[in-house]
């Protein structure tokens, strides 16, 4: 599955996403990954947000540019759950891996109901 396939599907479902390097900490690959936010959890500090994303990790040919790029023909190599404590100095962290070949399913995680 290509980046174009994934991003076209996300757009058709009105799912907002952002691009980020290094979901797994691989600084040398030069290919952006896509993140779609699915949840926000309680945080230990009032000045930060712990956001939960579905991370679409891509691979592609070696880049002849400086910096990170996203090419329409990059190949999807993994779909993971990615937690990121934003607004604080903590680094993002990767939790669980969920991979399904040749099928893209948008999942929705909702916070528990409080009464």
pLDDT tens for the 115 residues of the chain, in order:
999 999 999 999 999 999 988 787 766 678 899 999 998 877 666 667 788 899 999 988 876 667 778 889 999 999 999 988 776 544 444 443 344 444 455 444 444 444 4
pLDDT tens for 4-36 read: 999 999 999 999 999 988 787 766 678 899 999
Cα 82 from Cα 64, distance rounded (Å) = 28
Residue 10 sits at φ, ψ, to 5 deg, of -60, -45
Sign of CA dihedral 66, 72, 76, 82: positive
Residue 114 sits at φ, ψ, to 5 deg, of -110, 145
Looking at residue 84, its pLDDT comes to 81
Q: CB-based burial of residue 15 (10 Å sphere; 0-12 exposed, 13-18 middle, 19+ buried)? A: middle
- 93's enclosing H/E stretch is strand 93-97
Question: What residues pair up with 55 in beta bridges, in sequence order?
Answer: 35, 80
Question: What pTM value is reported for the model?
Answer: 0.69
């Amino acid at each position: 599955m290509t980046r174009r396939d994934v991003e076209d599907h996300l757009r058709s479902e009105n799912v907002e996403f952002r691009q980020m390097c290094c979901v797994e900490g691989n600084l040398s690959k030069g290919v952006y990954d896509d993140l779609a936010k699915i949840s926000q959890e309680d945080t230990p500090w009032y000045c930060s947000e712990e956001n939960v994303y579905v991370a679409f990790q891509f691979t592609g040919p070696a880049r002849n540019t400086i910096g990170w790029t996203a090419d329409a023909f990059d190949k999807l190599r993994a779909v993971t759950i990615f937690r990121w404590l934003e607004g604080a100095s903590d680094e993002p962290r990767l939790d669980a891996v969920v991979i399904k070949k040749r099928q893209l399913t948008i999942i929705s995680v909702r916070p528990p109901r409080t009464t």
